Amino acid sequence: MFETERKEALMKPDRRATSQSGMGIIQDTGLNGLPRIVLTHSSGASVEIYRHGAHVTAWKNEGGENLLFLSRESRFERSHPIRGGIPVVFPQFSDEGALPKHGFARTNEWALVKNGQLSDGTVFATLRLEENPDTIRIWPHRFALEYSVRLSDALAVRLSVTNTGDNPFRFQIALHTYFQVADIRLIAMLGLRGIELVDGLRQNVREKETRERIAFEGETDRVYVQAPNRLILSDAGHHRELYIEKSGMNDVVIWNPWIDKSVKMEDFGDDEYQRMVCVETGNIAVPIVLSPGARWEGATKFSVGSE
């Protein structure tokens, strides 16, 4: 009992906030002392962002319901990624290289460089990550990442990469978005029929998707190459549809660990696979090559409608 109480005390956010309430922006200390930004729209919708990884951990509608999944076992520690929300994957996807899994952007602390409110009421925050001694040690390139999070009647995120060094580099990039669902067996992905996919559970077998509605009946780990820019996640359990619109990002990943993998993940609850699905946008199948001084940009917008 003592250990449980100690952990809860450690994880409790510091409510002593530096507030810009007129603009719907709060900077404070979140779980385990990690710096946090909270954006609130006039509708009552909100977004929570941790500077650790520039990690969006919550996107709540006007009723306070979190549309993103965050594991109850997630570690809010500087040396570990946060499990859930929207992790930023850069410059490597998964274990497709010599770097730590999914690269280092999600475990570095980003700087908040700009925030405010636009004339239409949209609230935003822009974060930045540049090379540092730890990144240079494992990936010897100079770069600048900028990540803009905008909240209105939708959630829009924009990510850019600039090569600030003297040599070209190649990278993969993705927004590893975890959605909260009522029941994994009651959801379906729409819009991927006819698209080539790479199945990570079958030794990267390539084939074309034949289903109009992609249901989930077991572990799923698929990269859809050159996917359409607009997809729909149908959630019958919540009687809603989530619309995913992307630009500058060629591929889409669909992932759910299911039962066996869930029990092997230390920062993921054994039963949590039932209430989440990852739909990731990014450039994965073909890495991007960026010349010195060049800049890449990609964006994804999430919105909600009734089913």
Q: In this structure, is the dihedral angle defined by the CA atoms of residues 250, 177, 206 and 186, taken in order, positive or negative?
A: negative
> Rounded to whole angstroms, what are the CA distances from 203 to 55, 85, 148, 260?
31, 28, 36, 18
What's the pTM?
Answer: 0.92
pLDDT at 204: 87
Q: Which helix (H) or strand (E) holds 180?
A: strand 178-180
Query: Per the residue annotation, which of 41, 55, 176, 238 is the catalytic one?
Result: 176
For 227, what's the count of Cα atoms within 13 Å in the CB-facing half-sphere?
Answer: 32
Question: Residue 306: what pLDDT?
Answer: 77
Whether 280 sits among the annotated catalytic residues: the reply is yes
Active-site hit among 48, 146, 272, 280: 280
How much is the pLDDT for 8? 39
> What is the CATH classification number for the domain harbouring 208?
2.70.98.10
State how many domains the chain has. Answer: 1
Distance from the first to the final alpha carbon of the chain: 43
Q: Which domain holds residue 23?
A: 2-306
Q: Average pLDDT by consecutive 10-residue portion of the chain (307 residues)?
A: 33 44 80 97 96 98 96 95 98 95 97 96 97 98 98 97 98 98 98 97 94 97 98 97 98 98 97 98 98 98 89
| Furthest CA-CA distance within the chain | 56
pLDDT of residue 5: 30
